[in-house]
Amino acid sequence: MNLNSNTFGFFEEEDLVTCASRAEGTLSMICGFLHEAGHAISAPSTFADLRPSNKRDRVMVAELEYKAWEEGWKLAKRLKITFPELEDQYRKDWMRFWNTYLDALYTQTKRSVIKEIAYNYTPESE
């Protein structure tokens, strides 16, 4: 775990989760960790075995980001660390970041960036 990063992130090959050093409070930090843990425990993309294309890559990134938020909250429940303030913050962060993902995927981001993100989500067997 690296607590001195510019952003949250999960790097499977390095077995590393990074946390933004400027997270907006303890609840947001916990939410970020749960989301990144969600990446670690999520199933591979439904679309990973399809022929790589811009459309596949965008759908795959959207799917896996959503799954990470969903699995992160399931993990919180399994760990019995849920409480109303955390749930409220998690839902707010999920909605805010999910909206950012969608904006980036469908309006702002270059194909090369989406392709790189999708490549990182593709199992090594490809």
- Quick: pLDDT tens for 69-80: 999 999 999 999
For residues 8 and 80, which has the higher predicted lDDT (pLDDT)?
A: 80
Residue 91 to residue 73: CA distance in whole angstroms? 9
Domain boundaries, the chain: 26-121
Going by C-beta distance under 8 Å and a sequence separation of 6 or more, which residues neighbour residue 20? 5, 6, 7, 8, 29, 32
Indicate yes or no: pTM above 0.85.
no
Q: Is it the case that residue 111 has pLDDT exceeding 60?
A: yes
Within 10 angstroms of residue 28's Cβ, the number of other Cβ atoms is 18
Cβ–Cβ < 8 Å for 114, 57:
yes
- Residue tagged 């959503």 (tokens): 66
